[in-house]
């Protein structure tokens, strides 16, 4: 018997050879089910059992269970759980016994069509900021499972937060967000968003979420608690009426930061069912978890990204890519970039350099010779979807950040989920010391084989046809002179104001849509629109990035100027495991 539990895009599996007794459904049983499945995909074990009852027997289950617990032995000894029974051992979700083991690990099972790539990471606390994660990586088809190193000790696991502490923090978040806007912050009404800072948070239920019961003690990616006119800041939702009633749940401890603070993942759902996945940083103060932020002066992050490059005007050249997005905010002072460059030391045994570019809100990657490219990340591999398409993507698209030589799928599968990245910010002003920050991933990039196992959100046929008609002649959306009857707006809806894209069941919906393009003079620009999980069409306004930015019309500032050209668009989503899913809609042609 095979059992499945689904939570959005996440699936867990369990199995038993008998009809009675206990059958657990956990990340560890998912590993065992994957090992028993013919191609490593846990969902296919049920069909295998129907075809051959000997696919799951008590003997095979015990063999797989024993091999897995032996691989985890250093961890189990450190936690006092040497007698763990992953398949049938009874336990409660209370942070003790079996549950204590599950709280101390992160498990990834990624089918690729032939087998599954599996990683088990230990959430240990290390005294060194730049320590590599401790994990084991193997294939579901491997004859044996590697063993965790013996260096795992009880003190490294002692500060993992209990489920009770996590539930308490998220209950307190929900108590705060149940309050009307005018009770959360200094707002004159409950219906209009306001700007403000930490001192404008007035509800005790909201203030006590933060260290010292004071929101001014919170700093995350350069932002304190507050909201400015551009909706920037940390916890901007405190200042917006539509966030009243927002629910926070699925709090999960992910890893320790270098100073011992805790990175927690979460799901937030607004009243309109708009879902956001993200992370917050907390610190245990007394018996409570308090929000503190990452303490970083500058906004930078890194996340794995799987992308489909949809060449709507030359579909034979559509492709899959995988790699890392490295968004670094282009911080300006009086319209001038604060950074001359940012040097990033990656887990790829390479050093990357990012630089500011006029008109762009993020820094871009440079080639080894220092030439900037219109990309904020690095791609490890790119493959044409159509196997009959000749040539290599890296040769036709030299400016998308694709490595040459590229990584292979087996090489990508050996990258660790919680890899460490070092950011060194070099200031443009002479004499200002460099600032160093560290970031960790929650997961590694997918292999191309893994990407091909999952569906993507997609344009509707009507929207695809409309965009193809509008872009094929000019390799983009080229804006004419502005007029009252035909304003230069970016309306992403199918003719008749119908839906522009679809989202398959179980797939994370896109949360943003960004248009990238060039002005008449050749300068680059980007404009974005935030999307809810139920949005299927939108409008993108033109927004000038700084003085001298000419891509917006001088008289109708939310419209695009004559000669501006939208080159491509990017639909972006983020899963619960902080994996970016992007569908690029490319307007230019290839041959």
pLDDT at residue 53, rounded to an integer: 80
Q: What is the mean pLDDT of residues 164-171?
A: 98
Flag the least confident range among 45-54, 71-80, 100-109, 353-362: 45-54
Is there a contact between 292 and 282 (Cβ–Cβ < 8 Å)? yes
Exposure pattern of 416-431 as b/e (b: 16+ CB <10 Å)?
bbbbbbbbebebeeee
Query: Cα–Cα distance between 375 and 383 in angstroms, integer?
Result: 18
Dig out the tokens for 68 from the structure: 């897995």
Query: Cα–Cα distance between 13 and 24 in angstroms, integer?
Result: 8
Report whether pLDDT(250) > 80: yes
What average pLDDT is seen over the chain?
93
Query: Cα–Cα distance between 298 and 341 in angstroms, integer?
Result: 13
Give pairs for 215-221: CB < 8 Å, separation 24+: 217/292, 218/291, 218/292, 218/293, 219/292, 219/293, 219/294, 219/295, 219/296, 219/297, 220/280, 220/281, 220/293, 220/294, 220/295, 220/296, 221/293, 221/294, 221/296, 221/298, 221/299, 221/300, 221/301, 221/329
Q: CA quadruple 87, 90, 92, 96: dihedral positive or negative? A: negative
Dig out the tokens for 545 from the structure: 């990035």
Output the CA torsion 401→405→408→414 (10° steps): -80
CA distances from residue 398 to 369, 371, 394 in whole angstroms, order as listed: 13, 12, 5
Report whether pLDDT(20) > 80: no
Task: Find tokens 């990834």 and name the residue.
Answer: 108
CA distances from residue 188 to 4, 183, 244 in whole angstroms, order as listed: 49, 10, 15
Residues sharing a CB contact under 8 Å with residue 293, sequence separation 6 or more, in sequence order: 218, 219, 220, 221, 234, 280, 281
At residue 101, the 3 state secondary structure works out as helix
Is there a contact between 417 and 443 (Cβ–Cβ < 8 Å)? yes
- Higher pLDDT among residues 556 and 253, named by residue: 253
Query: Cα–Cα distance between 567 and 372 in angstroms, integer?
Result: 17
- Strand-pair category, 565-574 with 512-518: antiparallel
pLDDT at residue 468, rounded to an integer: 97
Report whether pLDDT(37) > 90: yes
Q: What is the mean pLDDT of residues 373-391?
A: 93
Report whether pLDDT(4) > 90: no
Report whether pLDDT(484) > 80: no
pLDDT band at residue 460 under the 50/70/90 scheme: very high
pLDDT band at residue 311 under the 50/70/90 scheme: very high
Is there a contact between 275 and 533 (Cβ–Cβ < 8 Å)? yes
Give pairs for 349-354: CB < 8 Å, separation 24+: 352/326, 352/378, 354/326, 354/328
pLDDT band at residue 50 under the 50/70/90 scheme: confident
- Higher pLDDT among residues 495 and 97, named by residue: 495
pLDDT at residue 112, rounded to an integer: 97
Residues sharing a CB contact under 8 Å with residue 253, sequence separation 6 or more, in sequence order: 103, 123, 160, 161, 166, 262, 263, 264
Q: Is 183 exposed, middle or buried (0-12, 13-18, 19+ CB in 10 A)?
A: middle
Dig out the tokens for 134 from the structure: 């401790």
Q: Residue ranges of the alpha helices (H) in 181-258?
A: 181-184, 204-207
Stretch (H or E) spanning 342: strand 339-345
Output the CA torsion 355→381→147→29 (10° steps): 110
Cα-flanking dihedrals φ and ψ of residue 243, to 5°?
Answer: -85, -5
pLDDT at residue 203, rounded to an integer: 99
Query: Cα–Cα distance between 112 and 131 in angstroms, integer?
Result: 29
Q: What is the mean pLDDT of residues 297-324?
A: 97
Q: Is 369 exposed, middle or buried (0-12, 13-18, 19+ CB in 10 A)?
A: exposed
Flag the least confident range among 266-275, 315-324, 350-359, 361-370: 266-275
Report whether pLDDT(135) > 90: yes
If phi over 0 gives left and psi between -120 and 50 gives alpha, with beta otherwise, what is residue 182? alpha
Residues sharing a CB contact under 8 Å with residue 344, sequence separation 6 or more, in sequence order: 302, 326, 351, 352, 353, 354, 421, 422, 423, 424
Of the chain, the end-to-end C-alpha distance in Å amounts to 51
Flag the least confident range among 37-41, 91-95, 118-122, 236-240: 91-95
Query: Cα–Cα distance between 14 and 565 in angstroms, integer?
Result: 52
pLDDT at residue 486, rounded to an integer: 82
**Which tens digits make up the pLDDT trace of 503-545?**
998 888 999 999 999 999 998 899 999 898 889 999 998 988 7
Question: How much of the chain exceeds pLDDT 90, in percent?
Answer: 77
Rounded to the nearest angstrom, the gap between the alpha carbon of residue 248 and the centroid of all alpha carbons in its chain is 18
Partner residues linked to 135 by β-bridges: 121
Report whether pLDDT(581) > 80: yes
Stretch (H or E) spanning 157: helix 154-157
Per this entry, what is the length of the chain?
Answer: 591
CA distances from residue 309 to 315, 332, 388, 491, 584 in whole angstroms, order as listed: 10, 31, 17, 21, 5
Partner residues linked to 310 by β-bridges: 585
């Amino acid at each position: 018997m095979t059992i499945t539990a689904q939570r959005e895009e996440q699936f867990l599996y369990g199995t038993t050879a008998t009809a009675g007794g206990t059958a657990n459904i956990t990340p560890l049983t998912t590993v065992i089910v994957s090992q028993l499945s013919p191609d490593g995909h846990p969902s296919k074990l049920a069909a295998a059992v129907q075809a051959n009852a000997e696919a799951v027997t008590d003997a095979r289950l015990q063999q797989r269970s024993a091999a897995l617990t032996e691989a985890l032995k250093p961890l189990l000894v450190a936690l006092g759980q040497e007698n763990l029974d992953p398949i049938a051992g009874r336990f409660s979700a209370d942070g003790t016994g079996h549950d204590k083991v599950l709280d101390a690990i992160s498990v990834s099972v990624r089918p690729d069509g032939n087998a599954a790539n599996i990683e088990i990471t230990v959430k240990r606390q290390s005294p060194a900021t730049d320590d590599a994660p401790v994990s084991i990586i193997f294939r579901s088809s491997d004859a044996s499972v590697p063993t965790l190193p013996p260096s795992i000790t009880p003190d490294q696991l002692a500060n993992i937060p209990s489920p009770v502490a996590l539930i308490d923090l998220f209950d307190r978040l929900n108590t705060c967000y149940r309050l009307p806007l005018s009770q959360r912050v200094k707002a004159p009404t409950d219906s209009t968003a306001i700007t403000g800072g930490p001192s404008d948070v007035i509800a005790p239920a909201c203030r006590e979420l933060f260290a010292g019961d004071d929101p001014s003690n919170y700093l995350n990616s350069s932002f304190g608690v507050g909201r400015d006119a551009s909706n920037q800041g940390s916890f901007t939702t405190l200042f917006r009426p539509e966030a009243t009633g927002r629910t926070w749940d699925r709090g999960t401890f992910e890893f320790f930061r270098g100073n011992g603070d805790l990175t927690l993942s979460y799901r937030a759902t607004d009243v309109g069912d708009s879902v956001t996945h993200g992370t917050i940083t907390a610190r245990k103060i007394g018996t409570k978890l308090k929000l503190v932020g990452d303490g970083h002066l500058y906004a930078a992050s890194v996340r794995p990204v799987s992308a489909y490059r949809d060449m709507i005007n030359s579909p034979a050249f559509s492709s899959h890519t995988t790699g890392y997005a490295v968004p670094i905010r282009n911080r300006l002072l009086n319209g001038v970039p604060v950074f001359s460059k940012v040097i990033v030391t990656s887990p790829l045994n390479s050093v990357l350099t990012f630089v500011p570019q006029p008109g762009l809100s993020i820094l871009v990657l440079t080639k080894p010779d220092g030439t900037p490219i219109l990309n904020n990340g690095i791609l490890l591999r790119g493959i044409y979807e159509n196997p009959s398409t000749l040539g290599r993507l890296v040769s036709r698209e030299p400016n998308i950040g694709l490595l040459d030589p590229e990584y292979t799928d087996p090489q990508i599968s050996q990258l660790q989920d919680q890899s460490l990245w070092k950011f060194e910010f070099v200031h443009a002003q002479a004499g200002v010391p460099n600032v160093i920050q560290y970031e960790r991933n929650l997961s590694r990039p997918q292999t191309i084989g893994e990407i091909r196992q999952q569906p993507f959100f997609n344009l509707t046929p009507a929207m695809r046809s409309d965009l193809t008609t509008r872009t094929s002649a000019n390799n983009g959306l080229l804006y004419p002179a502005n007029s009252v009857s035909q304003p230069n707006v970016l309306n992403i809806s199918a003719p008749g104001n119908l839906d522009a894209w679809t989202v398959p069941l179980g797939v994370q919906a896109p949360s943003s849509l960004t248009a990238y393009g060039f002005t008449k003079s050749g300068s680059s620009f980007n404009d974005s629109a935030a999307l809810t999980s139920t949005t299927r069409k939108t409008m993108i306004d033109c927004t000038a990035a700084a003085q001298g930015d000419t891509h917006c019309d001088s008289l109708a500032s939310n419209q695009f100027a004559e000669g501006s050209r939208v080159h491509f668009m990017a639909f972006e989503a983020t899963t619960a495991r902080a994996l970016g899913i992007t569908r690029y809609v490319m307007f230019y042609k290839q041959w």
